[in-house]
Amino acid sequence: METIFSLLVGAFFAASIYLMLSRKLVRVLMGVAILGNAVNLLIFTSGRLLREIPPIIPLGEYLPLETTANPLPQALVLTAIVISFSFFAFFLVLGYRAYQELGTDDMLEMRVAEPENEVEPPLGY
């Protein structure tokens, strides 16, 4: 089961990097969202995927008697989901405002600091 999730994490990382290298702002935002989900799935998979055995230590013991799932990655993923959602919502609003102000979602056309009709600065000494 963990092998399937590892392959899925690799596919998510590949898709997110592909989308983040795009010129369109919406694709970059989707790439950031998929990257957050890939990291969450990677952390979740690293904590062992066992549903049947809860991580409870019996009374009088110092360690669990059987192999159990690690609860720490699950808690980290729950926190990361909230943070990544708010991060994505902020980027979505920021991208929408940039589209309203500049009239495009193409990254190369968003270069307000580098107008097209000006002479380029010197590229060397």
Query: How confident is the model at residue 69, as a pLDDT?
Result: 72
Query: How confident is the model at residue 35, as a pLDDT?
Result: 94
pLDDT digits (tens, 9 = 90+) for 20-73: 999 999 999 999 999 999 999 998 888 766 666 666 778 888 887 777 777 788
Residue 124 inside a domain? The answer is no
pLDDT digits (tens, 9 = 90+) for 71-91: 788 888 899 999 999 999 999
Q: Inform me whether the pLDDT recorded for 106 exceeds 80.
A: yes
Q: Supply the range of the domain harboring residue 24.
A: 2-51+68-110
Query: How confident is the model at residue 96, as a pLDDT?
Result: 93
Of residues 65, 85, 83, 67, the one with CA closest to residue 75: 83
Domain count, the chain: 1
Residue 37 inside a domain? The answer is yes
Residue 63 inside a domain? The answer is no
